[in-house]
Amino acid sequence: SSMHKSDFLPLAVQVYNPFVEDGDVLTFIARYCEAVRGGEHLKYRFGIWNEKRRYMVKLKLDSSVPGSVLHPPGSFSIGPNRGFLYYPGQPLYCWRCGGQGHMKAECKGERCRFCGEPDHVAAVCRPPKHCSLCGSEEHLYRGCLGRKKSYVCLVKGSHLKQMRHFVYFV
């Protein structure tokens, strides 16, 4: 089925460090979504949190490909914390290079986790590094003003003003 900008999709996020703030996860996914609803912690049968969070999201339009949406990466880092996400209609995602349309087994490439550019790794990165939380080239994660903010601060943040229908439940 084709994805339309107006469709809300369930987006499941798992960060390997359970102490990553919900606000940081919201700030990260807001880079790819024009609207986010929910924020539920998923639980196992006996009510124990399984470290997954579920949101209902509207993906942003991809300005480089008319009529398509901007797909968030299948794996990501928020500072030193690694995680992954999945949603219905997600394209094939390579865990080696971060590219779309193929899987790790078929990939010979690599991608830098600092700048996102292909053909080199973080240890030899020369391009400007960017914040893994908000995407800015002005600072890295450790200096990001968007870190660990409360829900109220996130909603008031200038980079989230474009989001409509933003409701957060835990």
d(CA 113, CA 117): 8
pLDDT of residue 4: 53
Q: Nearest to residue 14, comparing CAs of 81, 95, 80?
A: 81
Q: What is the pTM of this model?
A: 0.71
Q: Nearest to residue 30, comparing CAs of 51, 60, 61?
A: 60
Cα dist from 119 to 44, 75, 79, 96, 143, whole Å: 40, 18, 22, 11, 27
DSSP for 69-112, written as a single string: BPPPPSEEEETTEEEEEE-TTPPPB-TTT--BSS-GGG----B-
| 111-152 residue pLDDT tens | 777 777 777 888 888 877 788 888 888 998 888 988 865 454
Contact 7, 137 (CB under 8 A): no
Domains in the chain, please, with CATH?
9-89+132-160 (3.30.70)
pLDDT of residue 103: 84
Task: Name the stretches of the chain with pLDDT < 50.
Answer: 1, 150, 152, 158-170
Q: What is the dihedral of CA 47, 52, 55, 59, to 10 degrees?
A: -170
The identity of residue 6, as a single letter, is S
pLDDT of residue 157: 53
How many beta carbons lie within 10 A of that of residue 23, not counting itself? 20
